[in-house]
Amino acid sequence: MMITYYNFQNNQLNNSLEDLAKWIAVNNPTSHEVEKLGKYYDIPLDMFVTQYFPENMTEIEHFNSETLGNCAFLVLINYKTSKPHSIEKGLYPITFIYNKEKMISITDKRDVSITPSIKKDLSEAVQPSQLIVGCILNMYQIYTVEINRLKRAIDEISERARSTTKREVLTDLADVERDMVFLEQTLVDQKATIEKLLASELFQSMATEERHVREIKRKIKKTDKLISLNRDLIDTTGGLISDMLDSKLNGIMEYLDSAQLVIAIPTLIFSLWGINTGGLIGKDTPLGSLSVVIFAILLGWTTYLYLKKKEY
How much is the pTM? 0.73
State how far the Cα of 39 lies from the Cα of 23, in Å rounded to an integer.
18
Give residue 27's pLDDT band: very low, low, confident or very high (50, 70, 90). confident
Where do the domains of the chain lie? 2-246, 251-309
> pLDDT tens digit string along 106-137?
887 655 555 544 455 555 456 778 788 888 88
What DSSP designation does 45 have?
G
State how far the Cα of 96 lies from the Cα of 142, in Å rounded to an integer.
19
**What is the chain's mean pLDDT, rounded?**
78
CB contact at 8 A, 150 and 229: no
Alpha-carbon torsion 295, 298, 301, 307, what sign? negative
H/E element, 126:
none
Predicted pLDDT at 116: 47
CB contact at 8 A, 76 and 93: yes
Q: What is the mean pLDDT of residues 279-289?
A: 60
Q: 2-246, what's its fold?
A: Beta Polymerase; domain 2 (3.30.460)
